[in-house]
Amino acid sequence: MRSPRSPMIRTCQTCGEDFKRLSGRHKQKYCSRPCIRRWACAEDRFWENVRKSNGCWEWTAACNSYGYGLFYADQRKIGAHRWIWQHLHGELKQTEHVCHTCDNPKCVRPSHLFVGSQAMNMADAREKGRCQKKLTVKDRNEIIAMVKGGETHLKCAEAYGCTRANVTHIMNQARKFDEL
């Protein structure tokens, strides 16, 4: 039989008051709903997940399979780089993309971002040598075999001239369709 655990005392990040965390809520940071609402300013939450440096300001929270930061704001998930651009410059059209001059998908530094179309983004990728060859079905099957054999996603990506995110996507699709 498990021994009863003593309640853990935490300090509220909003008001500074001590409180007993609820059982099963190991990451509880706030003493009450009003404190959560006061803290819940999207901009504060955003900057809490950014590591600033002299170069790129990298997103440290959740990322998608392509390495782009994900941020939950206004009851929806949005790219972190897109959110900061819209926060500083206003809403974007659905067809507009927020592109990186630094080619770092985790970067959210406003001076490294610009707005463009999908065509402009692809032209930028071609100019910088980021366009990848199209993988064949044979390549895909060989990548799956390499990963199953213990090779890292990065090594497979280097061998086939694609990104680690591409290999991860291939493996996720293989798992989805029970090919592993």
**In the chain, where are the structural domains located?**
9-40, 44-127, 137-176
Torsion angles phi and psi, residue 46, rounded to 5: -60, -55
Torsion angles phi and psi, residue 139, rounded to 5: -60, -45
Spell out the per-residue pLDDT of the chain, length 180, in tens.
455 555 678 887 767 788 887 665 556 777 877 776 665 678 888 998 999 999 999 999 999 988 999 998 777 899 999 999 998 998 899 899 999 999 899 999 999 999 999 888 888 877 877 766 678 889 999 999 999 999 999 899 888 888 888 899 899 888 877 655
Tell me the CA distances in angstroms from 114 to 60, 98, 118, one per residue in order: 21, 6, 12
Q: pTM for this structure?
A: 0.57
Instruction: Compute the C-alpha angle 94/100/103, nearest 5°.
Output: 135
Domain 44-127 listed as CATH 3.40.50: no
CB 37 within 8 A of CB 28: no
Structural tokens at position 123 = 């032209």
